[in-house]
Amino acid sequence: MVDIYDFYDKMDRNKIMLSFKGDITSELLTSILQIMESKLDNLQEEPKVKKKVYNVLVECLQNLYHHMDEVSFSDDSNEVVSRSAIFMIGKVDNEYSIITGNYILTSNVENLKVKLDRINEMTKEELKEYYKEILNNDTFSEKGGGGLGMIDIARKSGQKLNYNFMVADDKYSFFSLNIKISN
Amino acid sequence: METLLIEGSPKTPTIKFDWDKGFLEIKGRSIPENSIEFYKPLVDWLDKYSGKPQKVTDVNIHLEYFNTSSSKCILDVFKKLESIHKGGSSEVVINWHYEEDDEDMLEAGEDYQAIINIPFKMVLSEG
C-alpha cells in the first residue's frame, strides 16, 4: 500500500503549498494559476514578490506544457503513452521554491544543458542583452519561445537556474529544475 | 474601418483598437500558452489600419503580466506600428504603463524601447 503519511510528512517538512503530478493541460494551468494567485493574496505577499512568483510560475509551468508532446510515444500495443510531469511550490521562511520535473529525450539533454549553463554564466546586464537578442531574432516563432522562457526565469528570479538530469532508460532522462525566489 | 474589441479572459488581455480615435489599448494579462493565435487579429487589424491611419496613433499598453510566448507577439505589434510611424502617415506614441513597485514591467518596457524606433513613454500607474 502507498504510504500516504510518508508523502504528507515529506511535503509538510518541505512546506509545500501545492503539488501536482500528471498531464499538463491548458485548463489545468488556468486552475493552478488561479489557486496560486489566491494563496499569494491570502499570504498578503508584497505585490512585488507576488508578481515575481506568479511570472516565474507561469514560465515554469508553460515549459512543462510545451514539452509534453516530446515525451508522448506509442507502446507495444500502439497505445499512446504520455509521460506526465510533476511540480511543487513551497515556501520556507521568506523564500519560494518552484520545483518542476519532466522527462525529456536524452538526445536533447546536451543542448539544454549548454543553454542553461550559458544563462547561468551571465551577469544581469548580459541576460538583458541576450533576452533582447533572442526576442528580436526573426527566426524565432515557435510556440515555446526558443529559450526565452529560461532567460526570463533567470532574470526575474535573479538567481542561477538550479537543474539536474537523471538518465531514466535507454531513451529518456528526467529533467528537474528548482527555482528560488526571495524578497 | 471597424473598432477591434476583444473581451479579456484569465489568460488574455482586453483589446480595444478604435480606428475613429486612433486609440489602441492592450490591457490586463497576456499569458496564453500559444499567443500567435490570439495576436493574429491584432496584426491583421494593424495591416488594414496602416492603409488609412489617423494623424496621431495613441497606443496604450497596460499589462499586469505577460509571458514569453506573448513577448514576441507584442514585438510584432510594435513592428507594425513602427512601419506606420516611419511611413510618416501617422505619429505613433506608445504609452507603456507600469505599477509603482513593478520594476520588471518597467524593464520590459525599456527592452522594447531599445528595439523599436517609436517614441515610448513610461507611465507610472496609480496602484
* Interatomic CA distance for residues B30 and B65, integer angstroms: 6
Domain that residue A114 falls in = 4-182
**Number of cross-chain residue pairs from A and B with Cβ atoms under 8 Å apart:** 69
**Best residue in B34, B39, B70, B72 to probe A by mutation, most A CBs within 10 Å?**
B72
Q: Quick check: A26 pLDDT over 90?
A: yes
Integer-rounded Cα radius of gyration of chain A? 17
Q: Which three cell numbers stand for residue A124?
A: 544581469
Using a CB–CB cutoff of 8 Å, tell me whether A149 touches chain B: yes
What's the pLDDT tens digit per position in A136-167? 986 554 555 567 999 999 999 999 999 999 99
Closest CA to A27 of B86, B33, B19, B102: B33
Q: Do B101 and A48 touch (CB under 8 A)?
A: yes
**Best residue in A45, A51, A133 to probe B by mutation, most B CBs within 10 Å?**
A51
How far lies B39's CA from each of A19, A159, B66, in Å?
Answer: 32, 32, 13
Of A58, A66, A145, the CB nearest to B31: A58
Which residues, 6 or more positions from A151, have their beta carbon under 8 angstroms from its beta carbon? A119, A127, A130, A131, A134
What's the pLDDT tens digit per position in B61-110? 999 999 999 999 999 999 999 999 999 999 999 999 999 889 999 999 99
Q: Which three cell numbers stand for residue B37?
A: 493565435
User: Structurally, how many domains does chain A consist of?
Assistant: 1
In this prediction the ipTM stands at 0.93
Backbone angles phi, psi at A146, to 5 degrees: 50, 40
Q: pTM of the predicted model, to two decimals?
A: 0.92
* Interatomic CA distance for residues B77 and B124, integer angstroms: 22
